[in-house]
Amino acid sequence: MATRETCAVTPLARAIEADHVDALIEETADIALLPDDLSQLPFTVSLSRAALNTIRVNIAFSLGIKLIAVLAVFPGWLTLWLAILADMGASVLGH
């Protein structure tokens, strides 16, 4: 069972509910495995990696759209509405 000191010191804190896990530990843990079942840990790791991949793709897409918008400024093609569309469109499509 994790302690307050463990959660404060380790970069990846895991709270595993045994009988009574302190609410502070549950709130500050990066991963909370409920109940005491470690068989779900590989699924949690793969889900975390998939989420990280999605975040990277969204950031790359957003930066790519912004780069295209900046390049469209020089020939004068970027209007206010296209700039808004590039900014908000990347936010909407990125999700």
Given this model, what pLDDT does residue 26 score? 64
Mean pLDDT score, 65-82: 89
Residue-wise pLDDT for 19-69, tens only, equals: 455 666 666 666 666 666 678 788 888 988 999 999 999 889 888 988 998
- This prediction has a pTM of 0.59
Given this model, what pLDDT does residue 78 score? 87
- Same domain? For 16 and 52 the reply is no
State which residues form the domain around 71.
41-94
Given this model, what pLDDT does residue 87 score? 80
Burial class (CB in 10 A: 0-12, 13-18, 19+), 58: middle
- Same domain? For 26 and 49 the reply is no
Pairwise pLDDT comparison (64 vs 6), residue with the higher score: 64
- Same domain? For 45 and 90 the reply is yes
- Same domain? For 25 and 62 the reply is no
- Same domain? For 32 and 65 the reply is no
- Same domain? For 47 and 72 the reply is yes
- Same domain? For 45 and 86 the reply is yes
